[in-house]
Amino acid sequence: MTKQNNHEQKAAPDAGTGFFGLGIAPRILETLERIKFKTPTPIQHKAIPLAIEGKDVIGIAQTGTGKTHAFAIPMIQRLAQKDALAIVLAPTRELALQIDEAVRVLAQPFGMRTACLIGGAPMRPQEEALRRRPHIIIATPGRFIDHMESRNILMVRVNMLVIDEADRMLDMGFAPQVEKILMLLPRQRQTMLFSATMPAEIMKMVNTYMQLPVHVEMAPSGTTAEGVTQELYIVKREAKISLLSKVLSQYQGSVLLFIRTKHSAHKIVRAIREMGHRVAEIHSDKSLPQRREALEGFKSGRYRVLVATDIASRGIDVTKIELVINYDLPEDVENYVHRIGRTARAGCKGRAISFATPDQKGDVKNIEQLIRKQLPIVKHPDIPAEEFESFARPAQSRPPRRGFGSRGYRPSQGSSHSAPRKSSGGDSWRRRF
């Protein structure tokens, strides 16, 4: 596709008087009323009319702001007018399932079928779903390519593509896979891209594969969710468990706890259980059914605490998470924004507490630079107070990210999909998570 200059449209935080007046078809309005969706979020208010018109859209908004319905509503409305196929790409299995659930509710009145293609699930049921000619496919990149190369998907039918959580796609190493899909799709299509942040690498992909996209930005990159109270504890590594016990006793309600690696999960889960709290864990060592059970149990209140890694947490869409605990600071500074955005959703208030060790001054400074504010340091009366080291080590840096649109990419031997993915039939998961 020809490179085009982006049109930028800054969105005001006014969602109008409801979904009426956005060009939404009456049958969809009736469905929204039935599921008690009365007021569009700002990103929905701005993106939906543009997408209904058939424009390419870049939507920048933080986690929990309603991006799924911002693309699902116009997608279904446009598909109802033609025999075509829409593709939604998501970085994780959990997020794909979450999107599929939301889309099916809206698509049902139109008799539209969906197919959810994710790694870790059997191929045969997915093949059967594709033979029924679905109108919408929600997929992780690796599994989509599996079906594409098996000729299970009629690519000429595709006239709409949605890339959700584009920044996570980049972080997880899916850029080569997404680009492969983009190059094989029909050139004449509508493309929508949604993300919480917009790194320069994604802009390369935008300029290459989108046509005159309208840029709808609800908040600058690094903006934290409104309604989140942020706190920072400086604590020795060996005192973290004790501090965690105090915090869990101090606050009530559901708690999402982030750790950096899956290897820490078992120890922390065992400790939380010994504290008397119901807890589940979600990371790549758990099978897909186990992760779904943990997530559903957390949603229903069966588990008070959910322990998660950054990658496995994508798709955790729970509206009543009262507390997010960064037991480990994130490896990627942008994940701090994603993490704390899991609370204070749908207009609610929430709290985010981070644990930092005395040698993590550099990591905290990087977070503060990103969010453009200082994290207030809190001391617990029962835990010895610590301070940052005067000469702290520099913050750990990540290797350069491989961007979209890079023509220098060559897949590794033995895999036609991407460098991170070694085996057939699953998504890419970094082995340390």
Average pLDDT over residues 304-317: 77
What does the pLDDT read at residue 405? 46
What does the pLDDT read at residue 409? 34
CATH 3.40.50.300 for the 228-371 domain, yes or no: yes
Q: What is the CATH number of domain 7-217?
A: 3.40.50.300
State percent of the chain over pLDDT 70.
Answer: 81
Lowest mean pLDDT among 202-211, 223-232, 254-263: 223-232
Task: Give dist(CA 335, CA 314) in Å, integer.
Answer: 11
Residue 281 has pLDDT above 60, yes or no: yes
Which backbone phi and psi does 279 adopt, to 5 degrees? -140, 145
What does the pLDDT read at residue 429? 33
Q: CB neighbours of 422 closer than 8 A, spacing ≥ 6?
A: 414, 415
Instruction: Report pLDDT digits (tens) over 130-164.
Output: 999 999 999 999 999 999 999 999 999 999 999 99
Residue 307 has pLDDT above 80, yes or no: yes
Q: Is the CB of residue 234 less than 8 Å from the CB of residue 387?
A: yes
Task: Give dist(CA 404, CA 162) in Å, integer.
Answer: 15
Look at 314 and 431; give whichever has higher pLDDT: 314
Residue 242 has pLDDT above 60, yes or no: yes
Residue 250 has pLDDT above 60, yes or no: yes
> Where does the pLDDT of residue 17 fall: very low under 50, low under 70, confident under 90, or very high at 90 and above?
low
Report the chain's mean pLDDT, rounded to a whole number: 83
* Structure tokens belonging to residue 297: 């149990």
Instruction: Report pLDDT digits (tens) over 208-240.
Output: 899 999 999 876 555 666 678 999 999 999 999
Helix (H) or strand (E) holding 10: strand 7-10
Question: Would you call 421 helix, strand, or coil by DSSP?
Answer: coil
Look at 199 and 404; give whichever has higher pLDDT: 199
List the chain domain ranges.
Answer: 7-217, 228-371
CA atoms within 13 A on the CB side of 429: 29
Task: Give dist(CA 433, CA 431) in Å, integer.
Answer: 5
Instruction: Report pLDDT digits (tens) over 364-423.
Output: 999 999 888 999 999 999 998 899 987 545 555 454 444 454 433 333 333 334 334 333
Question: Would you call 250 helix, strand, or coil by DSSP?
Answer: helix
Distances (CA, A) of 433 to 99, 264, 421: 23, 10, 14
